[in-house]
Structure 1
Amino acid sequence: MTRLFNEPAAFADEMIEGFVASHGRWVKRVSGGVVRNTKSTPDTVALVIGGGSGHYPAFAGLVGQGLAHGAAMGNLFASPSAQQVYNVSIAANNGAGVLLGYGNYAGDVLHFNQAQDRLRKEGIDCRSIAVTDDVSSAPLAERTKRRGIAGDLTVFKVAAAAAEAGYSMDDVVAIAERANDRTRSFGVAFTGCTLPGADHPLFSVPEGRMAVGMGIHGEPGIGETEIPTADELAELLVAKLLTEVPDGLETSGASARPRVVPILNGLGSVKYEELFVVYRRVAQLLAEAGLEAVDPQVGELVTSFDMAGTSLTLFWLDDELETHWNAPADAPAFRRGAVTAAALDASDGGELADVERSIPDATAESRAGAVRVLAALGAARTVVDANADELGRIDAIAGDGDHGIGMERGVRAAVEAATDAVARGAGAATTLHFAADAWSDKAGGTSGALWGMALRAVGDAVGDTKAPDAGAVAAGVAGAASAIMDFGKAKPGDKTLVDVLVPFRDALAAGVHAGQSLTDAWGAAATVAQQAADDTAALLPLMGRARPHAEKSLGTPDAGAVSMALIVRAIHNTFGEKSPAGNTPSNNTVLNNSVKENA
């Protein structure tokens, strides 16, 4: 259990503040994460890594000479936003472009790709490498769907060393991809992890049992076994990884003696002494298999809060990969050899006060509409705050359990931004745009990106020149659905928020087309949305982190679908004059009356 925290939603920000305060020799804070506190060689490629917080030493602990130039740091178990990735990349850029490295998770892919597109539009050469080392998360034939776990370290270390050596962007990308192709990981857990403020772990394992193949975000394992002895665990891990020897390598024969870097990674609560007992047998098994262990790593390298578990990674070397793996590095959590000390970078690192955004002119009608937008967002905040714990609970059944806290961070930021916009005389579109950017930036994760898109699409449709009418709002919802499906590639039936958004869009459009008022059309569509959210309980997830554990989610609706249904109902309650925004009894009872019956 995570015991030391203040406000759970502020945990990640406060953690970063403390990390920088204690590691100023290596890093400095920038908006969105951290970058090196030393000067890098001009006109060399910069490696910017990142992902959700909660995995230290990944990702900030890997920033320093010979390793990453910067790390974008998201909320707990949630990807950093595109804005965060962009900010860190701008601060880290040495003039020869930026390589983005991250684990292959839906939210990370969405946000890092958005940042990549923006950097490219500004003339900065930007590429990406998504790490896919976890053999349990997809079959070999679908390697591109695998998630990244402790193998992040091998890919990042090799790419960073190549960049430090002056490789071109093409060559840095090529060697990073080769390292990824030659890295395999497999993990187990004995207990789940508990997020700050949560009463229960994200998943549990029966007493005397071990989860096999779990992820680093609280995703449950793909199976369970009796808890083995240390030697039996080593045999399980090694045997699994040796079923996937990279193409072109031979493990038998007189001349064959492949070199591998073994990484036995602790996930949070397994002690170093226990890991050493396991590694003793791992070393024996590798030798018996004809492999030469090079520079073994035993310890905590990619964690998951207090999860009691471990993973084994095998990184299959060639001469060039071995050279870069062994190259000197000096980062807070990973040091080897002797680097030539670089001068401190005296620049501010980009930690500047935010520039106040200008407010475009708006008509009085649109400004009045902005007040209604703010009321709607306030209602969304109230219903999310009331149901955050339950949203996290249902998300943890087959996912990572961060949906509730991510939605809280996003909607609170959106309300704050919209409040500022309205106070400065913004119209409806500008208020929605401010809220969209704030939601996406503060929430991170897949839901942050998608809600940011949704609010922006509605803002585009209603404009700043007239009062938002039913037709414009319906067009905005349609635009939101199109943007989300185009970007996230989800479709109805995949068990995502799209399963609510599409029928809501269609019902709203039908009501408006039939001449109903916005209040009546939205109310009818909100009822359709609630039913659609309930119906996701019968679906198997085909997208995101829940996909590898699809059968576990049967009988439980999708968290993203449920939160959308809650929000559209809460917004409808602001259309009339009788109820203050977000304070009607139904806001706090919809989830309990629908989700728990299906859980």
Structure 2
Amino acid sequence: MTRLFNEPSAFADEMIEGFAAASARWVTAVPGGVVRSTRSSEDTVALVIGGGSGHYPAFGGLVGPGIAHGAAMGNLFASPSSQQVYTIAKTADQGKGVLLSYGNYAGDVLNFTEAQERLKAEGHDVRTVLGTDDIWSAPADRPEERRGIAGLLALFKIAGAAAASGASLDDVERIAKLTRDRTRTFGVAFSGCTLPGADGPLFTVPEGKMAVGLGIHGEPGIDEVDVPTADGLAEFFVSKLLEEVPPGVDREGARVVPLLNGLGSVKYEELFVVYRAVHRLLEEAGLTVVEPDVGELCTSFDMAGCSLSLLWLDDELEELWKAPADTPGYRKGSVAPQEHADVVVAAVEEQEIPEASDASRAAAQTISAAFDEIATAIDGAADELGRLDAVAGDGDHGIGMRRGAHAGRDAARAAADAGAGAQTTLLRAADAWGDRAGGTSGVIWARILRSMAEQLGDTSDVTRTEVAAAVSAARDAVVEFGKAKIGQKTMVDAMTPFADELSERVAAGDSLVDAWSHAAGVAEEAAQETAALKATLGRAKSHGDKSVGSPDPGAVSFALIGTTVSDVLAQHLEEDK
């Protein structure tokens, strides 16, 4: 369990601050994560990695000569926000292009993609290569659906070495894709991890059993088997990984890099006992072992577990794997001397408050009051939302929603008090929510609020028709952005009936208060009905069967916000328009 923390919601921020102070030889803290504190004599392609915190040395611990130029560091087990990724990538770019690389998780994909689009619009050449090494998370014929776990180290190390060699962005991208396609990982766990302030672990494993196919975000395993001996585990790992030799690899005489990774609580001494057998089994299979690594390479907080990755080499990959690297959490060989660099972070322009009508300002005050109540409601539900999320996910939904709701509340209050209209107030709240929350919920709620804002104005009345249209636009934006459909056990299962009911009631002549109240009731019922559904989208899809019987946390939090806003509208709107 986690014993040393202050305020749980501040843990990631305080951890990053301490890490940067302790690792100043390699990194400098900037908003959103860290970048290198040194610069080589020649400008190169910049490798920017990232993901949630709780995986050290991934991701900040891999920033330094020979590997990454920057790392976007999200909250515990939550993807960094698009703003964080944007800031890190823009700061790290040396004019030769940027390669973004990270694990294949819904929130990471959404946020990194949004940042990439923004950077491209500004003229930056940006590419992406996802890590998809977890063989247990999807079949071999659907590799694009697989998660990225401890094999990410191989991807980052080789892509970083390619960049350091002076390779072009095209070549760095090509080499990174080849590394991804030649890396396979298989993991097990003996107990789950416990987030700061939590009463218990995200999942438990029966005595004498181990979970097979776990994720690195505290997701439970996909199967449970008896705990074997160390030699038995080695045989389990090797046999499973050798069942899937990457396309284009001739197994006879092949060269492989084994990465035996401890997930947080398994000690190095135990790992060495397991590796003893791994090494022997690989050689008996006719493989040549090249510069293996054993230790904590990509952890899951304090999870008791381990994984084995195999990187299947060719001549080019072998040379890059052996190349030197010097980072806080991973070192190999001896790198050339580096010069200290003064990091220049792009300044954030002060935004003026646009002119607004009295009616729009009044609506902004109602919006601000709604955010006050939303933050309070989420505070009260955060633990339960986290518990629901831990059933088939990583348990971070409550934390992310709390961070986002508080940031949105503060931004909305500041905007409304400064005389902003409804549109500007919602836009400021959207940016703050998305930036602070991160994760899937952060980017989606930012889209919701931004889409609603675009339907409203700062100089016109906010009518019930416009509100209904704004909610429908937000629903459409979420469906388009996340590709979710009704029945896949997501927020959309509550949001779609809410938007439809609100539009129908408003069109029938109901007041906004009545229409919203009815729609909120429909959303709450729909959210509870998701308990009967199997998750088929997002991080929970790997554990879809486990999700049956529990409602979707995103749908539940949406319904909670809908009900909360309904109460605020009833208190603030004396006369509906």
Q: TM range, normalised to the smaller chain?
A: over 0.9
Normalising to structure 1: TM-score of the pair? Answer: 0.94
Contact 1:29 1:351 in 2 (8 A): no
- 2:310 is aligned with 1:314: yes
Q: Match of 1:81? A: 81
Q: Match of 2:535? A: 541
Q: Match of 2:331? A: 335
Q: Match of 1:293? A: 289
Deviations, residues 497-517 of structure 1 (Å, cap 9, x unaligned): 000000000000000000011
Q: CA deviation at 1:466?
A: 2.2
Out of 416, 437, 444, the residue aligned to residue 443 of structure 1 is 437
Alignment of 1:16-415 (within 5 A): 16-251=16-251, 256-347=252-343, 349-350=344-345, 354-415=348-409
Contact 2:97 2:169 in 1 (8 A): yes
Rounded to whole Å, the distance in 1 between the matches of 2:26 and 2:184 is 30
Rounded to whole Å, the distance in 2 between the matches of 1:577 and 1:46 is 53
Contact 2:79 2:108 in 1 (8 A): yes
- How high is the sequence identity, in percent, across the aligned residues? 61
Rounded to whole Å, the distance in 1 between the matches of 2:485 and 2:478 is 9
Q: 3-state SS of the aligned residue for 2:568?
A: coil
Q: Match of 1:583? A: none
Q: Structure 2: where are the runs of 5+ without partners?
A: none
Q: 3-state SS of the aligned residue for 1:303?
A: coil
Contact 1:46 1:96 in 2 (8 A): yes
Contact 2:211 2:223 in 1 (8 A): yes
Q: CA deviation at 1:341?
A: 1.1
Q: CA deviation at 1:216?
A: 0.4
Out of 529, 544, 548, the residue aligned to residue 550 of structure 1 is 544
Rounded to whole Å, the distance in 1 between the matches of 2:249 and 2:460 is 67
Deviations, residues 313-338 of structure 1 (Å, cap 9, x unaligned): 00000000011111111100111111
Q: CA deviation at 1:380?
A: 1.0
Q: Match of 1:477? A: 471
Q: 1:514 to 1:98 in 2, by over 3 A?
A: same
Rounded to whole Å, the distance in 2 between the matches of 1:432 and 1:392 is 26
Deviations, residues 79-106 of structure 1 (Å, cap 9, x unaligned): 0011100000111001011100000000
Deviations, residues 281-340 of structure 1 (Å, cap 9, x unaligned): 001100110011111100001000110000000000000001111111110011111111
Rounded to whole Å, the distance in 1 between the matches of 2:292 and 2:372 is 53
Cα RMSD (Å) of the superposition? Answer: 1.1
Q: CA deviation at 1:578?
A: 8.4
Q: CA deviation at 1:356?
A: 2.8
- 2:462 is aligned with 1:462: no
Normalising to structure 2: TM-score of the pair? Answer: 0.98
Contact 1:31 1:351 in 2 (8 A): no
Rounded to whole Å, the distance in 1 between the matches of 2:55 and 2:552 is 25
Deviations, residues 437-465 of structure 1 (Å, cap 9, x unaligned): 11111101111011000011111112111
Q: What letter matches 2:128 in structure 1?
A: S
Q: 3-state SS of the aligned residue for 1:219?
A: coil
Q: What letter matches 2:213 in structure 1?
A: G
- 2:482 is aligned with 1:492: no
Deviations, residues 185-230 of structure 1 (Å, cap 9, x unaligned): 0000000001111001111101111000100011111100111110
Rounded to whole Å, the distance in 1 between the matches of 2:346 and 2:356 is 32
Rounded to whole Å, the distance in 1 between the matches of 2:514 and 2:508 is 11
Q: What letter matches 1:95 in structure 2?
A: G
Deviations, residues 54-82 of structure 1 (Å, cap 9, x unaligned): 10000000000111000000111000011
Contact 1:41 1:94 in 2 (8 A): no
- 2:577 is aligned with 1:577: no
Rounded to whole Å, the distance in 1 between the matches of 2:465 and 2:11 is 42
Rounded to whole Å, the distance in 1 between the matches of 2:335 and 2:485 is 50
Q: 1:159 to 1:41 in 2, by over 3 A?
A: farther
Rounded to whole Å, the distance in 1 between the matches of 2:160 and 2:244 is 26
Rounded to whole Å, the distance in 2 between the matches of 1:8 and 1:417 is 22
Deviations, residues 246-277 of structure 1 (Å, cap 9, x unaligned): 112233xxxx3111000000000000000000
Rounded to whole Å, the distance in 2 between the matches of 1:317 and 1:516 is 67
Q: CA deviation at 1:576?
A: 2.2
Rounded to whole Å, the distance in 2 between the matches of 1:86 and 1:328 is 28
Q: 3-state SS of the aligned residue for 2:188?
A: strand
Contact 1:187 1:311 in 2 (8 A): yes
Q: CA deviation at 1:577?
A: 2.7
Q: Structure 1: where are the runs of 5+ without partners?
A: 580-599
Q: 3-state SS of the aligned residue for 1:577?
A: helix
Q: 1:430 to 1:523 in 2, by over 3 A?
A: same
Contact 2:258 2:308 in 1 (8 A): yes
Contact 2:55 2:300 in 1 (8 A): yes
Rounded to whole Å, the distance in 1 between the matches of 2:412 and 2:265 is 42
Q: CA deviation at 1:401?
A: 0.5
Rounded to whole Å, the distance in 2 between the matches of 1:316 and 1:344 is 36
Q: 3-state SS of the aligned residue for 1:575?
A: helix
Q: CA deviation at 1:40?
A: 3.5
Rounded to whole Å, the distance in 1 between the matches of 2:6 and 2:308 is 34
Contact 2:87 2:346 in 1 (8 A): no
Q: CA deviation at 1:41?
A: 4.5
Rounded to whole Å, the distance in 1 between the matches of 2:512 and 2:6 is 42
Rounded to whole Å, the distance in 2 between the matches of 1:163 and 1:385 is 44
Q: CA deviation at 1:43?
A: 4.1
Q: 3-state SS of the aligned residue for 2:78?
A: coil
Deviations, residues 21-69 of structure 1 (Å, cap 9, x unaligned): 1000000011111000001355421000000001000000000011100
Rounded to whole Å, the distance in 2 between the matches of 1:356 and 1:381 is 26
Q: Matched residue pairs, number?
A: 573
Q: 1:481 to 1:41 in 2, by over 3 A?
A: farther
Q: Match of 2:512? A: 518
